[in-house]
Amino acid sequence: MTHEEIKSCCADAYSKDIVAMLLGDSYHPGGTALTRRLADRLALAPGMRALDVASGRGTTALLLAGAYGVKADGVDYAPANTALAQGAAEAAALGDRAVFTTGDAEHLPYDDGVFNAVVCECALCTFPDKARAAAEFARVLRPGGRLGLTDVTADPDRLPPELRGLTARIACVADARPLDEYAEILAAAGLRTQVTERHDEAMLRMIDQIQARLDLLRITAPARLADAGVDLDAAPAVLDAARAAVTEGVLGYALLTAVKSP
């Protein structure tokens, strides 16, 4: 598939209601607790301007605007997510501090050097051109601005067959990289890594959460799962493979912060 087709597939998948039903409000391991930890690591403060890349339905950007007082921009490839996020901002009376735009992480629709911080949670692993996205993060940051990532880490050579292919890529697994490779990609873009933390246990909790919600939906709404294209026969094997991969150190989850050189 072309890069644009991969982006469209990912955007379409993450704009579906079934994803929210399986993953909850935060589409990433660790949820809002890990987002708060990331925001604290970035030393976000009122008056700063922050960008959430791949903002989905707005959970992270709204948290940053509401709890940290920043002016938060969110950009997402899926127009449906942009509309839902902006509606959530208005409903939370945060429309003056949270603005959402449809756009591509590899071609961000913002001027150079306008943000104090850029945040990207569980999304860089899905971008076809990670080096280009990293360069865009650096471009829109002010000198001395900080980048905060939380993302899936993986040893690609050791992934089992169940965790390869387009479906696994959309699930943030197939094209994830080792933590040190993410740091190398950022360094090439002029972003120097400051902090890294492992949060593999958050990955295990999310796998268990998906399993529990899938089991419930299998009983209460099997037709919705079928309409969404969820393969109920294959899902247990995929979840078991993911759980084993985390236990064996093949898969994990990490937090990383980096700074743009002055």
Q: What radius of gyration do the chain's Cα atoms show?
A: 17
Structural domains of the chain in order of their starting residue, each with its CATH number: 3-260 (3.40.50.150)
Token reading at 130: 């990670």
In the three-class reduction of DSSP (H, G, I as helix; E, B as strand; rest coil), residue 197 is classed as strand
**What does the alpha-carbon distance between residue 128 and residue 125 come to, in Å, rounded to a whole number?**
8
Mean pLDDT, 10 residues at a time, over the chain (262 residues)? 82 76 82 97 97 96 98 96 96 96 97 98 94 98 98 92 72 85 98 98 93 87 72 80 94 97 85
CA distances from 205 to 53, 137, 211 (A): 24, 29, 10
**C-alpha of 43 from chain center:** 20
Total residue count of the chain as it appears in this document: 262
**What does the alpha-carbon distance between residue 210 and residue 159 come to, in Å, rounded to a whole number?**
20
Q: What is the pLDDT of residue 167?
A: 64
pTM of the model: 0.91
Q: What is the pLDDT of residue 187?
A: 98
Q: What is the pLDDT of residue 166?
A: 58
Q: What is the pLDDT of residue 168?
A: 66
Torsion angle, alpha carbons of 166, 170, 173, 174, to 10: 20
**What does the alpha-carbon distance between residue 100 and residue 90 come to, in Å, rounded to a whole number?**
11
